[in-house]
Amino acid sequence: MATTHIVKSYDNDLNRLSYLIQEMGKLADRQLSAAIEAIQSRDNEKAEHTRAGDAVIDALEDELNELTLNILALRQPMASDLRLIIGSMKIARDLERIGDYAANLAKRTRTLNANSPLGLTDQLVHMGGLVQPLLKTALDGFMRQDTALVSDIVGMDDAVDALYKKLINDLMDYMQSNPKDVVACTNLLFMAKNFERIGDRATNIAENVYFIVEGTLPHAMRQKQK
Amino acid sequence: MATTHIVKSYDNDLNRLSYLIQEMGKLADRQLSAAIEAIQSRDNEKAEHTRAGDAVIDALEDELNELTLNILALRQPMASDLRLIIGSMKIARDLERIGDYAANLAKRTRTLNANSPLGLTDQLVHMGGLVQPLLKTALDGFMRQDTALVSDIVGMDDAVDALYKKLINDLMDYMQSNPKDVVACTNLLFMAKNFERIGDRATNIAENVYFIVEGTLPHAMRQKQK
């Protein structure tokens, strides 16, 4: 029957959409782990590998964008399906950017060496450790379409922001007393910024999960990005 | 006649969409000008005013997102209309973020004072002067649906990136010789990063104009964001 076939293929499209988000999420999470490990171990080879993986996320985003356009043009989705499609497109963008931030973190790892300030590098690794569960929680929220999970994210991101501010201040203090380490510290500054932005992007993802489920944006999550 | 009415109101929706992008674009451009002037004159009052204007852009993005959902649900747009709607949603996101970057630039202006390194601040202002035509060209490309204009943008963004790299290197050199100016220079680092990101966002806008007109993404514009 043609109708069943059409409906079935529509379901397949929506399943594929969710699958692509999950795959992108897994890859972004893996890139982030690898970047954190590369910082911790100052392993340039791992860092190079992390950067290469970024292209796969980009390709998945391209596929997702094409798929969403096709669904919109051919299926004329309504209500919650429409929100899933629009929300997924936005989440894919955030995941693609998280992949970019992880690649940039890996790239900057090469500038760290045995002389880089150890305590500050440890703080950066700690910051990465706070960001990672934020991304996992947001992705879990998407998988389970769970808005309760998602509301934890604002508090988690506040902790990331607090550590970010502390680390920037510590880095400025350190550079004032150790001007020979300015280059390493400048890289640490931008690496801290990358983690902070990953936290904001994970918060965006949570915001879009809420939108997909509820049809509105959660008020508490607005105005996070200044 | 009901049909005419429906068609007319559909046209009104699409016109409203373009109008919202234009308004957001004008405001983002104004915010960017004001931020550059505030840096140049170290005028804290102007900086404060710039930050306040950001809320208007956010509100316009909310309206645009709601409008696009309504059009998608009620009008079932096809082909170029569908691309205009999806493309506009992405452009609105970029403009909203450009507003955020301008607000952050204004906020950091407060940390500059008479003792801040003048030559480096001048370089930053110069960088702002390169970024602004990039945004104007992208917006002009949207208004005229002109992909020829838009292809200039890649070259313009390369010039921004080159100046960005030079400025970061100059700032690191300066901090090494003048550790007492580390705080001001760190703010200049992040301000340079903000301009660099505005350039990337303007490039994204151009990319989406190309997509709206041609239905594909321009190859040369990919891979700009690492």
Q: Encode chain B (226 residues) as per-residue pLDDT tens digits.
A: 444 556 778 889 999 999 999 999 999 999 999 999 999 988 777 767 776 778 899 999 999 999 999 999 998 888 899 999 999 999 999 999 999 999 999 999 888 876 678 899 999 999 999 999 999 999 999 999 998 887 789 999 999 999 999 999 999 999 999 999 999 999 999 999 999 999 999 999 999 999 999 988 776 555 444 4
| The amino acid at B11 | D
Chain A residues touching residue B190 (CB < 8 angstroms): 189, 193
Residue A194 identity (one-letter amino acid): N
| Contacting A residues, span 121-150, partner chain B, CB-CB under 8 Å | none
Amino acid (one-letter) located at A116: S
**Burial class of residue B12 in the structure, from the number of CB atoms within 10 Å of its CB (0-12 exposed, 13-18 middle, 19+ buried):** exposed
Residue A83's Cβ-side half-sphere holds a number of Cα atoms within 13 Å equal to 16
Instruction: Compute the distance between CA of residue A169 and CA of residue A172 in angstroms, rounded to an integer.
Output: 5
Identify the residue among A50, A107, A175 best suited for mutation to test binding to B, counting B beta carbons within 10 A and taking the highest. Answer: A175
Residues of chain A with pLDDT under 50: 1-3, 223-226
SS3 content of chain B, % helix, strand, coil (to 5): 90, 0, 10
CB-CB contact of B59 with B191 (8 Å): no
Specify the pLDDT at position B128. 97
B4-40: per-residue pLDDT in tens?
556 778 889 999 999 999 999 999 999 999 999 999 9
- Note whether B172 contacts A186, CB cutoff 8 Å: yes
Question: Two tokens at A213?
Answer: 């489920």
Nearby residues of B127 by Cβ (< 8 Å), 6 or more positions away? B160, B163, B164, B167, B192, B195, B196
d(CA B181, CA B176): 10
Preferred mutation among A172, A178, A207 to probe B, highest tally of B CBs within 10 A: A172
One-letter amino acid at B192 equals A
Give the pLDDT confidence of A50-92 residue by residue, as tens digits.
767 788 999 999 999 999 999 999 988 888 999 999 999 999 9
Cβ atoms within 10 Å of A110's Cβ, excluding its own: 14
CB atoms within 10 A of CB A7: 12
Give pLDDT, residue A217.
74
State residue A225's pLDDT score. Answer: 44
Per-residue pLDDT, A24: 97
- Average pLDDT over chain B, rounded to an integer: 89
Which pair of structure tokens corresponds to residue B105? 């630039």
Compute the nearest-CA separation of A199 from chain B (Å): 16
Q: How far is A96 from chain B (nearest CA, A)?
A: 10
Give the rounded percent of residues in chain B with a pLDDT score beyond 90: 71
Instruction: Select from A72, A103, A177 the Cβ nearest to the Cβ of B72.
Output: A72
Chain B contact for A104 (CB, 8 A cutoff): yes
How distant is the alpha carbon of residue B7 from its chain centre? 33
Residues of chain B found within 8 Å of residue A78, distances taken between Cβ atoms? 73
DSSP per-residue letters across A143-176: HHT-HHHHHHHHHHHHHHHHHHHHHHHHHHHHHH
- For residue B169, how many other CB atoms are within 10 A of its CB? 12
How far apart CA B200 and CA B185 sit, in angstroms, is: 23
DSSP for B94-111, written as a single string: HHHHHHHHHHHHHHHHTT
Q: Quote the pLDDT of residue B226.
A: 43
Tokens representing A9 are 């293929």
Q: Tell the burial category of B15 from Cβ atoms under 10 Å away from its Cβ (0-12, 13-18, 19+).
A: exposed
| Cβ proximity of B64 and B20 under 8 Å | yes
Task: Give the pLDDT score at A219.
Answer: 60
Copy the structure tokens of residue A87: 């929300």
- CA–CA gap between residue A164 and residue A153 (Å, rounded): 16
The predicted pLDDT at position A220 comes to 53
Residues of B in contact with A217 (CB under 8 A): 62
- Residue in A179, A183, A186 nearest the CB of B179: A179
Within 10 Å of residue A52's Cβ, how many Cβ atoms? 10
